[in-house]
Amino acid sequence: MALENVPRYTSYPTAPHFHSGVGHSQFDSWLRGIEPGQNVSLYIHIPYCDQLCWFCACTTKHTRRYDSVASFLKYLQMEIETVGRIVKGKAKIGAVHFGGGSPTILKPDDLVALKATLVSAFDIQPNADVSVEIDPRDMDGARFQALATIGMTRASLGIQDFDATVQRAINRHQRFEVTKAVIEGVRVHGATSVNVDLLYGLPFQTIASICSTIAQTLDLGPDRIALFGYAHVPRLKKHQTMIKDEWLPDVSARLEQSSAAREMILSAGYEEIGLDHFALAGDPLSRVSSTGKLRRNFQGYTDDPCTTLIGLGPSAISQFPQGYVQNTPVTATYQRAIREIGLASARGVILSDDDRIRGWIIERLMCDFGFSLRELFRSFGSGARAIATEAETMAAAHVNGLFEWRDEGFRITPMGKPLVRTIAAGFDKYLATGMAQHSSAI
C-alpha cells in the first residue's frame, strides 16, 4: 500500500467536501429538530492569537490590538443568543469546549462574560465538562482565576517541542518552566484533567531532540498526551511558507520520530488511544477505549457520546445526525452574516445512508483499528451488505499484511496501525472526486 496524503478523518465526509448548498436555513432546521432533553455539546471558536506559530493549520489570525477581539466577541454573543433562542428549553449541554486560535487571549472579564452568556442561552448541566485550549504564554493570575470561575474541568496545552532550535523555526518560544507553572496552576484552579499536544515532523527535529521533549513532558505528568504529525500544507496556510521544505524530516525520519516518542510514552505507563493519543489508566479516554465507545470528532479522540455538536464562531463546524454545517471562516464575513441574518452557516453536507455507513466504518477503524460484521449489521441492517462485501474483497486482495479479514471482521494488524488513515481512505468514496489537499499519512 503506497503512502499518500490523506485526511485525518475527524468527520466523514471530510470538510473539503462540504458545499454551499447547505447553509443557515438547513442549520436553523436542524437546530429546531433537537428533541426536548436531548444531550448536546458546544464548541466555541476564538479565531485570534497574539503570536502566529508558523506550523499552525488552525483557522486563526494574529492580532496585537485587542479592540478587534472585543468587537468579535459582540458578534459571538449575538450568535450564541440566536442559537440559544432556537433550542431554548430543549438541548441539555453536557460538554463545552473553548478552542481556537487561543481562547486564553481573552481578557479574564471577557472570558467570564462569555461563559455567562452561554449559561443564559443554554441549559448547561451542573456537571458539564468544560475544556479550554490554553497557550501557556498567555497565562497570568487573573486568567487562572477566570478559568476557575467558568468551571474549567480539562485544560489542553500546546507544547509542540521544547527544543530551542525547533522553536525558533516554528516561531513558538515557550520555556519548559513556563509550561510547568501553567500545568501546576490549572490543577490548583480546578482542572481535573490536563492534556498536552506534541508534534513530530517539525523542522530540525531529530530523534534526540524529540526524545528530550518527551522526557520533559513526562516529568509534567499530563493525564493525556496527543502526538500529532506536523501537517505541512503551505498552499493552504500561507504562513507555513516560513518553514522551508528542506528543513523538514523525510517520511522515514518522521516514522522513526513517531516510533521513538511512542515507545517512551508507553514505557512511562500511558495507554495508547487510537492513532495518536495516550492516556493514563483511569482517564475517561482510557475507559471508553477499552469498552469500544471511543469517538472521534473535530476535537480529535473523545469520550463525549453526543451525536449533536453545535459549533459557534468563525469556521466552527456543527454536527447533527442528519449532517454537518460550517460557519464561514472569514471573521469579517462572519460578523456581517451575524448582523444581517443571525447565523453564519456557509456550507455543509447532508448525509446519505452510504455516508453514515462509511463514516461509521472509518470512525471504528480510527478508534478500534477494526470492526465486526455483527456490529455493522446491528447498526445499519441489510443496507450495509454491499459495503461489507467491499471490505471482505479489499482484505482478500491485500498482500502486505497491514490488514486482514478475521473472525468475521476487518482488522488492522499491528504493522498496519501507523497507516490507519491510509487504510481508512480505502472506504472514502469522496477522496478521488476532489482536489482537496491533505497531510502526510505518517
- The domains of the chain are located at 15-350, 353-440
Report in angstroms the alpha-carbon separations of 175 from 159, 163, 171, 209, 300.
9, 9, 13, 15, 26
For residue 288, the model assigns a pLDDT of 94
Give 8's DSSP letter. -
pTM greater than the 0.75 cutoff: yes
pLDDT tens for the chain, residues 1 to 442: 544 678 999 999 999 999 999 999 999 999 999 999 999 999 999 999 988 898 888 888 888 899 999 999 999 999 999 999 999 889 999 999 999 999 999 999 999 999 999 999 999 999 999 999 999 999 999 999 999 999 999 999 999 999 999 999 999 999 999 999 999 999 999 999 999 999 999 999 999 999 999 999 999 999 999 999 998 988 888 889 999 999 999 999 999 999 999 999 999 999 999 999 999 998 999 999 988 899 999 888 999 999 999 999 999 999 999 999 999 999 999 999 999 999 999 999 999 999 999 999 999 999 999 999 999 999 999 999 999 999 999 999 998 999 999 889 999 999 999 999 999 999 999 987 754 555 565 6
CATH dotted code for 15-350: 3.80.30.20
CATH number of 353-440: 1.10.10.920
Residue matched to cell numbers 490523506: 6
CA nearest to 268, candidates 320, 323, 211, 337: 211
Residue 19 DSSP code: B
CA distances from 216 to 76, 154, 177, 270, 349 (A): 38, 21, 10, 15, 43
- pLDDT value at residue 202: 97
Q: What is the pLDDT of residue 52?
A: 87
